[in-house]
Amino acid sequence: MERKWWKEAVVYQIYPRSFKDSNRDGIGDLPGIIQKLDYLKNLGIDVIWLCPVYKSPNDDNGYDIIDYRDIMDDFGTMKDMERLLAKIHEKDIKLIMDLVVNHTSDEHTWFIESRSSLDNTYRDFYIWRKGKNGSPPNNWGSVFGGSAWEYDKTTDEYCLHLFSKKQSDLNWESPRAREEIYKMMKWWLDKGIDGFRIDTVNLFSKVPDLPDGKIIEGYNYGDGSPYFLNGPRIHEYLQEMNKKVLSKYDIMTVGETPGTPPQITAKYVNRDRHELDMVFHFELMEIDHDPINKWKPKEWKLD
């Protein structure tokens, strides 16, 4: 067993909007977190996981990012972020940040460029397809309801969004897109953060031909999850990310991996595969509800 600091760490999640409001505008902020560091230290925590504070129109609680290198006005400034990081380290606490790179906001510069023309250099940063007979390219439903495709009349094509229609999925098949993501990760790590909680990490790789999903009774859209959960190149991408970025720093990584059985989960965290340190998996949370409709209970057995 290899001893690592993160294996013995207590991690405390902060959702900044509701944590501590320093200026009495009704919204938690970065200066508010600084004010509570003594309290957090007294709790005995070792690591803070900070939910997204990046520049965002806030369509999905900050998980729709306009600029990975800037801070949402509600929370403060980059100077506040740098001061928070310094103060956290003074208390001998570490900081990990949410890394949201399955998708960006449709207001991100990359997407604005991508949608502008078929031959734009950023076109392949996102997943664009022609429609079929006046309908979307396939029958996938969005996690947030409705179709997983949004029509864009500028180029007469549809863009994939597995979540909100303002959260366009990045195309991990694009080497340039991956390199831009890795540059951004290094930028934050060079600032001194201590790792990442990687949002929806097992969605990055999609089956290339994007086939229709199975229609589930009572639902209007097909279940595309077999074609985007734990896709064909996901381990290749994570090994590349580890080689180019993660392995260069003494950090912790935890990936969010919904819909991933233990046999597959083990691949993400096997030390010899050089991918991630840990993952969040959802078997316990899902044990008592229908796999499609989480509000519909089902019988379960302890074993």
Which residues are catalytically annotated? 199, 256
**Residue 80 identity:** D
Tokens of 16: 């900044």
- 3-class state of residue 107 by DSSP: coil
| 111-149 residues labelled b (16+ CB within 10 A) or e (exposed) | beebbeeeeeebbebbbbeeeeeeebbbbbbbeeeebbb
- 3-class state of residue 60 by DSSP: coil
| 54 bridge partner residues | 71
What is the helix (H) or strand (E) element at residue 150, kind and residue range? Answer: strand 149-152
- Measured CA to CA, the distance from residue 75 to residue 32 in angstroms comes to 9
- Are the C-beta atoms of 4 and 13 separated by less than 8 Å? no
- Supply the DSSP symbol for 263: H
- Are the C-beta atoms of 163 and 103 separated by less than 8 Å? yes
Find all residues with CB under 8 Å of 262, minimum gap 6, and list them. 281, 283
CA-CA-CA-CA torsion sign (224, 259, 61, 277): negative
- 3-class state of residue 292 by DSSP: coil
CA-CA-CA-CA torsion sign (190, 49, 148, 167): negative
CB atoms within 10 A of CB 283: 11
Tokens of 7: 């294996």
